[in-house]
């Protein structure tokens, strides 16, 4: 079946540092989405990407839809303590979402 | 506008018991989904619905049944719970989408989750 490989699995960074995570797939997707999940909560959409090559920003977050449509990355600049959580990439095709395994981010003040 | 809501928030079952999880959305979305989340495995699609009265299997449908009698509600049933079904269950919904053209209507919105423990 379709799979997404998300890396890294976890990150421990200092407040103020920049963060980068990415997802790759053997399948082509029409849409790439990035979600953040706080403990005990459902995933919340951060950024949605709809076209190959698209680069989109949301505040300190920047994400890109890879040219091959098989990958995407998410960057967080100048991290702050509230950035802590699990970040998921998801590829969407035919109304279904395929999720990556998640990147757990820890930010040390 | 409450978005996507789920009940109950937490439940403990004994092996062999049955239960139904309820998902409700007030955004007039056509599509609804049930996922399960297990440590280190992201979210996996159990079943989904493309409209009232329709359901379809996802990636991990065995042991679950669903029903979509009303557009705003999507029910997930466990007829005979097993310890392997201990998980966190998330419901999501989205607008109708165009199969050939990606659009912002494809975005899914998630509920807060239901934690299920099967002993």
The fraction of chain A above a pLDDT of 70, given in percent, is 96
To the nearest whole number, what is the mean pLDDT of chain A?
92
The model's confidence at residue B100, banded by pLDDT at 50, 70 and 90, is: very low
Indicate which of B42, B58, B94, B98 best probes the interface with A, i.e. most A CBs within 10 Å of its own CB. Answer: B42
- Contact predicate A33/A97, CB 8 Å: yes
The model's confidence at residue B104, banded by pLDDT at 50, 70 and 90, is: low
Residues A41, B58: C-beta atoms closer than 8 Å = no
Instruction: State pLDDT tens for residues A49-73.
Output: 988 999 999 999 999 999 999 999 9
Residue A68, by phi and psi: left (phi above 0), alpha (psi -120 to 50) or beta? alpha
Handedness of CA A30, B5, B42, B49 (dihedral sign): negative
Q: B109: closest CA among B25, B17, B16? A: B25
Instruction: State pLDDT tens for residues A83-93.
Output: 999 999 999 87
**Taking 70 as the threshold, does the pLDDT of residue B101 lie above it?**
no
Taking the Cβ of residue B105 and every Cβ of chain A, the question of whether any pair is shorter than 8 Å is answered with: no
For residue A21, list chain B residues with Cβ-Cβ distance below 8 A.
none
**Taking 80 as the threshold, does the pLDDT of residue B92 lie above it?**
yes
For residue B93, the cross-strand partners are B32, B109
Rounded CA-CA distance B56/B58 in Å is: 7
Q: What is the DSSP string of B14-55?
A: -TT--EEEEEEESS--SEEEEEEE-TTS-EEEEEEESSTT--
- Contact predicate B74/B7, CB 8 Å: no
């Amino acid at each position: 079946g379709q799979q997404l490989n998300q890396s890294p699995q976890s990150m421990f960074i200092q407040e103020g540092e920049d963060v980068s995570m990415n997802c790759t797939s053997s399948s082509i997707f029409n849409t790439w989405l990035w979600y953040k999940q706080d403990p005990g909560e459902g995933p919340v959409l951060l950024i949605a990407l709809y076209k190959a090559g698209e680069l989109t920003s949301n505040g300190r977050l920047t994400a890109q839809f890879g040219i091959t449509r098989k990958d995407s990355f998410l960057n967080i600049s100048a991290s702050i303590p509230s950035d802590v959580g699990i970040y998921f990439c998801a590829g969407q095709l035919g109304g279904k979402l395929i999720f990556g395994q998640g990147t757990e981010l820890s930010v040390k003040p | 506008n409450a978005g996507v809501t789920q009940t109950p928030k937490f439940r403990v079952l004994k092996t062999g018991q049955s239960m139904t999880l309820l998902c409700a959305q007030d955004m007039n979305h056509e599509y609804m989904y049930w996922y399960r989340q297990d440590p280190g495995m992201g979210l996996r699609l159990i079943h989904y619905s493309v409209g009232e009265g329709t359901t379809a299997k996802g990636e991990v449908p065995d042991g679950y049944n669903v029903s979509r009698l009303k557009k705003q509600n999507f029910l997930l049933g466990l007829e005979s719970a097993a310890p392997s079904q201990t998980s966190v269950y998330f419901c999501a919904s989205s607008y109708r989408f165009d199969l050939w053209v990606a659009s912002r209507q494809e975005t899914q919105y998630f509920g807060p989750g239901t934690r299920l423990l099967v002993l």
